[in-house]
Amino acid sequence: MSTERQSTPGPHWIVIHAEAYARAADLARDRYQAVMPDYRSLMATPRLDGYVEYLNWITAIRRMCRVAAAAKAYYDPARAGLIAAAVDAFEKSVNCRDATHVRDVLEHADDYAAGIGQQKIRFPDIDMDAWTSAVQRFSAELLQALKRDKLPPGRPPAQSPS
């Protein structure tokens, strides 16, 4: 049995998760800023609460990147111009590769502490406020596009070759 995905999540999954991750990013950013005196730098103060909230925030951002990928894969761009535009704007505002890298470093901190992390540790310059705003806009734009255009459910799942 193949483990390859045969289809992508549908519009309800996309919208619900976009709203959930936008809310998660907003809450985590606010809590992080409340406990960190210099919230623009994860390494400013080694506080456990700050680390936890930053991990929650970057995880929400990474998951929103997955929502963007699902929206892009599910909708035919010829029929879903507003969704394609929302995805493009999100991808221009949020560097999903950097989000994935930071999430991986934080998630696998034990490997990095033991010197066996798979990538060089680097913390790109990430603007929490800008990325959180981009996540909020993307979530709202997805919801508006689906409501306004009453888009068809997307293209059917790809058929596996026999």
CA–CA dist 131, 18 (Å, integer)? 14
Is residue 136 situated within a structural domain? Answer: yes
Structural domain total, the chain: 1
Other Cβ atoms within 10 Å of 76 Cβ, number: 12
Is residue 6 situated within a structural domain? Answer: no
Q: Using CB atoms within 10 A of its CB, is residue 109 exposed (0-12), middle (13-18) or buried (19+)?
A: middle
Is residue 108 situated within a structural domain? Answer: no
Is residue 141 situated within a structural domain? Answer: yes
Is residue 146 a contact partner of residue 11, using CB atoms and an 8 Å limit?
Answer: yes
pLDDT in tens, 71-106: 888 776 666 678 888 999 999 999 999 998 888 878
Is residue 157 situated within a structural domain? Answer: no
pLDDT in tens, 94-142: 999 999 888 887 887 777 777 776 666 667 788 899 999 999 999 999 8
Is residue 106 situated within a structural domain? Answer: no
Cα–chain-centroid distance for residue 55?
Answer: 13
Is residue 132 situated within a structural domain? Answer: yes
**Residue-number span of the structural domain to which 137 is assigned:** 11-98+127-149
